[in-house]
A and B are shown apart, each in its own frame.
Chain A
Amino acid sequence: MTIRHHPPDDFLTGFAAGTLDLGQHVAIATHLTGCSRCRRTVRLMEHVGGSVLAEMQPTPMSDDALARVEARMDQPVMPAARIAPPRPGALDDLPELPAFVRRYAVSSWKWIAPGLRFRPIQLPTDSPTRVFLLQSAPGTAMLDHTHTGQEMTCVLRGGFQHRAGQYGPGDFDLGDSSRHHDVVVDAGEACLCLVAMHGKLRLSGLLGAIVQPFLRL
């Protein structure tokens, strides 16, 4: 698998720093699952995080802080703190996804337009970024649309192209309000993507005007 399109550095840094919202985190983690280059970058940035920590000015701890920790060191770990036993994941048929995402609950597939359907992934905590799977039939031309916020797309299977190039499995695409999408799905194979969408999607054109009221995209 040759990955040609990677997330911008600020998202890889944000992932390592722990400052992304959960929906964005899911999209970056999905890309990392298939991309050793970006995994190396994240690991590098975690070392940078360690260096930043090491260089900080210390803030004195409360007087009894060490004693309070020592008092808890011999206590057995609380049941809530044990890692839950692995259970079958709703998305186990998608090994392209990170393990923690495969365990999330998913809604059923929903129809958007001819050749196009989506399946929301239910995040365990509120996030301003929603995540869903998007499946497009071979040769589908995506509806004209614009974004009010950022949209991250991770290609899981199949591929598409738009004016910035050809996208295949493992590739990452970032759309925002400054870009107009003119996406055409490759012929021959359905395209499955994980999409993390911040803000709203505005469909344009006649079909968009018809389906928009029924979609909570």
Chain B
Amino acid sequence: MQADSQRASDGRHWASLIQAVAERGDRAAFASLFDHFAPLVKTFMRRSGLAEASADELAQETLLLVWRKASLFDPSTAGATAWIFTIARNLRIDAHRRGRRDGLTDAADIDAEFQIDDAPGPEANMATSQAEIRVRAALTTLSDDQRRVLELSFYEEKAHGDIARILQIPLGTVKSRLRLAMNRLRGLLGEPS
């Protein structure tokens, strides 16, 4: 499928730019990453309820951490966009907790909260280098309703009760759609449900 191969080459492209930053401090590669990802992260922050200036600042912080942490990026365990998503997520949590009292942090304590002792066993990983492509392809097979609930779970900093109000459907329906969506994703990706 053409869309798949497009996504595949996108993913490899961004991963190779992050590696160029890690290996030789490649500023041109960083500028490309910034131009592409900072505006996406800014939208993510805006949708999470942050004001324009704060969202802009947190998008800058996210990309600064991409620069500083590039050597920690391992393309065999994470896709480029998933990795950048986790950096943005942790900065958003940090900003939320501190009430934006000061803008300079690397959210190290939040990173620690997401470090789960994880001895990789034979069953531990799906083929992560391909995971991003497969997840994005799998998402396109969900119903619009299922995808919408899944998306709202991420970028609105909202409980599922709020999602129910936004979509004007009962809370039970939000939960059942989410469960269906996740079971379908697990099935498509060969995970036991």
Flag whether A214 is at the interface (Cβ < 8 A): no
Chain B residue contacts of A37, Cβ below 8 A:
192
A9 to B181, CA, bound (A): 10
A57 to B82, CA, bound (A): 17
Q: Is the CB of B113 within 8 A of A53?
A: no
Within A1-60, the residues touching B (CB, 8 Å) are 8-10, 12-14, 17-19, 22, 25, 29, 32-33, 36-37, 39-41, 43-54, 56-60
The stretch that binds B, out of A62-70, A131-139, A159-167, A189-197, is: A62-70
Q: Is the CB of A98 within 8 A of B121?
A: no
Q: Of A46, A62, A80, which is in contact with the most chain B CB atoms at under 10 Å from its CB? A: A46
> A18-B92, A37-B192, A52-B154 known; A47 and B186 CB under 8 Å?
no
Residue of chain B at shortest CB distance from A72: B64
Q: Of A8, A54, A69, A77, which is in contact with the most chain B CB atoms at under 10 Å from its CB? A: A54
Binary contact readout A82-93 vs B (1 if CB under 8 angstroms, 0 otherwise): 111000000000
Flag whether A108 is at the interface (Cβ < 8 A): no
Flag whether B105 is at the interface (Cβ < 8 A): yes
Q: How many residue pairs at the A-B interface have CB separations less than 8 Å?
A: 184
A51 to B78, CA, bound (A): 12
B137 to chain A, nearest CB (A): 10
Other-chain residue from B43, B83, B114, B174 in contact with A58 (beta carbon distance below 8 A): B43
> A40-B126, A54-B40 known; A48 and B106 CB under 8 Å?
no
A82 to B111, CA, bound (A): 12
Q: Report the contact-size class of chain A (Cβ under 8 Å from the partner).
A: 35 or more
Chain A residue contacts of B40, Cβ below 8 A:
53-54, 56, 58
> A9-B182, A49-B89, A53-B44 known; A81 and B108 CB under 8 Å?
yes
Residue of chain A at shortest CB distance from B136: A51
Knowing that A40-B126, A49-B89 touch, tell me 12 more A-B residue pairs with CB under 8 angstroms: A36-B124, A40-B191, A41-B182, A45-B182, A46-B86, A51-B135, A52-B151, A53-B40, A65-B60, A66-B34, A68-B60, A70-B27
| Interface CB pairs A-B, < 8 A, 19 | A10-B178, A17-B89, A18-B90, A18-B92, A22-B113, A36-B124, A40-B125, A40-B191, A46-B85, A48-B185, A51-B135, A51-B136, A56-B40, A58-B39, A59-B55, A65-B38, A69-B67, A73-B67, A78-B104
User: What 10 pairs between A and B have smallest CB-CB spacing?
Assistant: A50-B82, A58-B39, A50-B81, A18-B89, A47-B135, A81-B106, A49-B85, A59-B42, A56-B43, A50-B85
